[in-house]
Amino acid sequence: MQSWRRLFYFLLLNVLVSAVTTWAVVTIVLRNYTPPADQAIPTLIRQTDSVDGEVVITEPALSNPDLTEAPQDVVAELLEIESVIGAGVLDTERVVIQHIGEKEVSLFGWQLQDQDGHVYSFPALTIFSGGAVTVFTRTGTSTVVELFWGQDEAIWQPGEIAYLLDPQGEIQAVYTIP
């Protein structure tokens, strides 16, 4: 019986030391980190979802109100909008973005937009060659391959055009929803 008590105290001490060490390292890193001056940092919006708890989505940093028709000269070299699935139905609506280039791409600062001014700004996320990411319109908990916009109604409609913009606001991909 005495050995179990001893083992319990040892494990408790181990957890305490690990927690204090982790806290100290994170505190030191955060105090000494300064983001590069030329890198924009998006404003974060916290939105509470009664099902999944707290969900973090980014606020749009850029917007291009002149998106009314598909440009004819866009040639996707890095990313393409592969499909928009479930258009008009919030629970199933999602956009699949495929990496078709050779080098990895940071999605930080990229945006997904529609013609009505709805904008989704991507978080700091890197997508590798051959990889894909899915942007769901509804709320949920984002992962590295599934991102959630946090909207409470469907965004995409048949016949509408989806635009993928790089951090400079240049259109990199266009997709007309069938």
Q: What is the pLDDT of residues 106-165, one digit of tens each?
A: 888 899 999 888 999 999 888 888 899 999 999 999 998 999 999 999 999 999 999 999
Q: Does the pLDDT value for residue 73 go beyond 80?
A: no
Report the mean per-residue pLDDT for the chain.
80
In 3D, which of 109, 101, 11, 120 has the Cα closest to residue 57? 120
Q: Does the pLDDT value for residue 16 go beyond 50?
A: yes
Q: Are 96 and 85 in contact (CB under 8 A)?
A: yes
Q: Are 155 and 114 in contact (CB under 8 A)?
A: yes
Helix (H, G, I), strand (E, B) or coil at 63: coil
Q: Does the pLDDT value for residue 105 go beyond 80?
A: yes
Q: How far apart are CA 149 and CA 112, in angstroms?
A: 10
Q: Could you tell me which residues come within 8 angstroms of residue 134 by beta carbon, excluding any fewer than 6 positions away?
A: 94, 95, 96, 97, 145, 146, 147
| pLDDT for the residue numbered 60 | 40
Is beta strand 53-58 parallel, antiparallel or unpaired with respect to 44-49? antiparallel
Q: Does the pLDDT value for residue 47 go beyond 50?
A: no
| pLDDT for the residue numbered 28 | 85
pTM above 0.95, yes or no: no
Domain ranges of the chain: 1-33, 44-176
CATH of domain 44-176: 2.60.40.1260
